[in-house]
Amino acid sequence: MIYAINEISEIKEIKEKENLKKLLEIKNKEISTLELSIEYLGQSLSGLPKDFLRHVSKYLDLSNSDRISLYVFDETKFQIIGRYSENPLYDYCNREEYPRNEGYIAKCFENSDGKPYFCRNKLPKNTQKRYFEIVSKETGMSIDFLKKLSMKSRAYFGRLVKDDNKDNVGILLIETINPDFNISPEDLNEDIEKLIIPHLKTMLEISNKLKEDESYEN
């Protein structure tokens, strides 16, 4: 009798283990499916900044000589999260990160004249030695590095992006190899302020969320 009871108990235990094993397999499949969905969603969301900048470029009537990029500030550096140009030579990134004290993005970020934008135009022709000397002095970038850039811009317009706490969190940077833009800095800033800045905040929120998720996974 005791033997029979023990046998029944063992059978129940085995069945419970089998059921648990099946349940774990089902849950693992669900987790794998969810992880795959999150990965696809992340890839889709990470492509949003470039698509958005493409529309901004068309709205601002940027040309084959221009480029638009979106940077976020990450503690000690700027990180590019999106870039667009009609010209494929200007559409890619030489590097993903920039020190906080280099480039015209740093000039814009630390702008002290009270304006939410920074404009530098009418630089010398980018084939002249003087061009590299001036840009190097103003940006802190070495002449050797500047010569390697695929786009040697002669005019820059940077627009600060602030979060709801009014802190500087990003920069929208427009460049051109022409000596100047076809619109005044004031008008360009007004166009960006009215129709673009609210959406840029959303872009940055998405980007920050993706970075947080990546940090959590790592």
Q: What is the CATH number of the domain that holds 195?
A: 3.30.450.40
For residues 44 and 191, the model is more confident at 191
One domain, residues 81 and 27: no
User: Other CB atoms closer than 10 Å to residue 16's CB: what's the count?
Assistant: 10
Highest mean pLDDT, choosing among 8-12, 44-48, 119-123? 119-123
One domain, residues 75 and 163: yes
Res 76: pLDDT: 84
Q: Is the pLDDT of residue 150 over 60?
A: yes
Residue ending a domain, choose from 31, 46, 61: 46
Res 208: pLDDT: 61
| Mean pLDDT of all residues in 30-42 | 48
User: Other CB atoms closer than 10 Å to residue 29's CB: what's the count?
Assistant: 10
pLDDT band at 32 (very low <50, low <70, confident <90, very high): low
| Mean pLDDT of all residues in 11-26 | 65
Res 135: pLDDT: 97
Q: Is the pLDDT of residue 171 over 80?
A: yes
One domain, residues 20 and 114: no
One domain, residues 139 and 123: yes
One domain, residues 183 and 116: yes
One domain, residues 109 and 57: yes
Residue ending a domain, choose from 46, 61, 81: 46
One domain, residues 16 and 114: no
Provide the domain count of the chain: 2
The domain of 12 spans 1-46
One domain, residues 156 and 57: yes
Q: Which residues contact 86 (CB under 8 A, 6 or more apart)?
A: 57, 62, 63, 64, 66
One domain, residues 162 and 203: yes
Contacts of residues 70-73 at CB distance under 8 Å and 24 or more positions apart, as own/partner, are 70/170, 70/171, 70/172, 70/173, 70/200, 70/203, 70/204, 71/98, 71/105, 71/170, 71/171, 71/172, 71/173, 72/169, 72/170, 72/204, 72/207, 72/208, 73/100, 73/109, 73/168, 73/169, 73/170, 73/171
One domain, residues 87 and 35: no
| DSSP SS3 for 208 | helix
- CA-CA distances (angstroms) from residue 108 to 102, 120, 140, 186, 210? 11, 10, 14, 15, 25
Tell me the chain's radius of gyration from C-alpha atoms.
26
Sign of the alpha-carbon dihedral angle for 21, 26, 31, 32: positive
Res 184: pLDDT: 94
One domain, residues 173 and 133: yes
Q: Is the pLDDT of residue 40 over 50?
A: no
CB-based burial of residue 53 (10 Å sphere; 0-12 exposed, 13-18 middle, 19+ buried)? buried
The length of the chain in residues reads 218
For residues 65 and 203, the model is more confident at 65
Measure the CA–CA gap between 42 and 23, rounded to whole angstroms.
28
One domain, residues 52 and 135: yes
For residues 5 and 172, the model is more confident at 172
Res 6: pLDDT: 55
Whole-number percent of the chain with pLDDT over 90: 39
Res 138: pLDDT: 96
